[in-house]
Amino acid sequence: MKKVNVVVVGATGAVGQEILNILDERSFPINNLKLCATSRSAGTEIEFRGQKYVVEETTPDSFTDMDIALFAGGKASLEFGPAAVERGCVVIDNSSNYRMDPEVPLVVPEVNPEDVTWHKGIIANPNCSTIIMVVALKPIHDAAGIKRVVVSTYQAVSGAGKEGIEELTEQVKAVLDGREYPPKKFAHQIAFNLIPHIDVFQDMDYTKEEWKMVKETRKIMHDNNIQVTATTVRVPVYRSHSESINIETERKLTAARAREILAQAPGVIVQDDVANNVYPMPLFTSHRDEVFVGRIREDNTIDNGLNLWVVGDQIRKGAATNAVQIAELLLKYDCLMEKK
């Protein structure tokens, strides 16, 4: 297989580190690897496949002779994405900067792999909660046509990066010791609490996270008729986002049939044996690449209703794994860019 030159931008963060793990695990065919980050993190040493790399500060020239740039998140892709594209390097961007740009494909490989082929240099990786949801929704949509989704999320603190993880640990210790530990990363105490507020508030008092689940789902599924309403909540769990999803379909799908369809769907593992207390839980789905689906039940309050409980590792499938899968599709469909 052809080997390519890969640059990871934001290599020192939680998602960046996971991208490196996954490139290695999946034996991604790398010729030259470059690790970049902000000046603050430049100089850090990171080992990859037995070799040490020194993290460089990202500059426009970081992308010269590179084929694929994996941007872990944040504002870097706004600043350096166009420079990378100018140099013939395809950008796979985990931030929300370009997701709703009609010129930019928004791709979940299990759902809309072909969309990578029409990229103009940038491909966006969707929001983590959205990725996890659409992997479970796609097979249902294909089988019965989804009209409406009501989703409530239970999102892990690592969605807020390493600082989110540290805040939960230190705050839990403080609470147990009777000490104060004021919130820093989150708006309120997260230890032994729930915060129904992720990202900033926008139109109609929905959060940006909630709107992402509405808008990105339609774009990924190529169906502007799918109605989605979301309530997103931070919970004191380290890793893996969970979602309670109520679905109304055009055509009837029994729970048994939904279970069969989901069991055969790419990237999905069905865990649904309630007689033996088997259902997905974030503690046991972390560090996995699949989306786990359980509590599959018909909802008889409407003609064609289904309830699902869906859990997935939002740092892996919700971010890093999905990005690396997109890179694999670029090779599969042979749609890298010509160097200028």
> Cα(333)–Cα(117) distance, rounded to whole angstroms?
7
128 carries an active-site annotation: yes
231 binds a second copy (CB under 8 A): yes
CA distance 157 to 137: 24
Q: Which stretch binds a second copy (CB under 8 A): 106-114, 129-137, 221-229, 315-323?
A: 221-229
Nearer to a second copy by Cβ, of 51 and 277: the residue is 277
**What is the closest distance, in whole angstroms, from the C-beta atom of residue 139 to a second copy in the complex?**
19
Residue 159 vs residues 69, 168, 220, 303, 316: alpha-carbon distances, Å: 22, 12, 21, 36, 11
**Longest distance between any two alpha carbons in the chain, whole Å:** 62
* Residue 218 assigned ligand-binding role: no
Residue 185 found at the interface with a second copy (CB under 8 A): no
Residue in 283, 287, 303, 333 binding a second copy, rule: CB under 8 A:
283
Out of 36, 119, 128, 141, which one is annotated catalytic?
A: 128
Q: Does 305 bind a second copy (CB under 8 A)?
A: yes
For position 197 contacting a second copy by CB under 8 A, the verdict is yes
Q: CB neighbours of 149 closer than 8 A, spacing ≥ 6?
A: 133, 137, 217, 226, 227, 228, 229, 245, 246, 247, 248
Do residues 215 and 172 make contact, with C-beta atoms less than 8 angstroms apart? no
H or E stretch at 214: helix 208-221
Select the residue interacting with a second copy from 160, 217, 309, 327 (CB under 8 A): 309
**Tokens representing 17?**
């580190």
Q: Structure tokens of 169?
A: 């640990």
With binding defined as CB under 8 A, does residue 236 bind a second copy? yes
- Identify the residue among 139, 159, 164, 294 touching a second copy (CB under 8 A): 294
Q: Does 297 bind a second copy (CB under 8 A)?
A: yes
Rounded to an integer, what distance in angstroms lies between the CA atom of residue 311 and that of residue 155?
10
Nearer to a second copy, 123 or 228 (CB): 228
Size of the site for a second copy (CB under 8 A): 56
**Cα pseudo-dihedral 330, 334, 335, 336, rounded to 10:** 80
3-state DSSP percent of the chain in helix, strand and coil, to 5: 35, 25, 40
Q: Tell me: is residue 12 an annotated ligand-binding position.
A: yes
For 203, other C-beta atoms within 10 Å of its C-beta total: 8
Q: Which of 30, 172, 174, 335 binds a second copy (CB under 8 A)?
A: 172
314 has binding-site annotation: yes
CA dihedral 244, 126, 241, 153 (to 10 degrees): -40
Closer by beta carbon to a second copy, 100 or else 172: 172
Active site residue 89: no
Q: Which stretch binds a second copy (CB under 8 A): 26-34, 93-101, 276-284, 320-328?
A: 276-284
Residues forming the site for a second copy (CB under 8 A): 148, 150, 152, 154, 168-169, 172-173, 176, 187-189, 192-197, 201, 204-206, 227-229, 231, 233, 235-238, 242, 244, 246, 255, 272, 274-275, 277, 279-283, 294-302, 305, 307, 309
Binding site listing for phosphate? 99
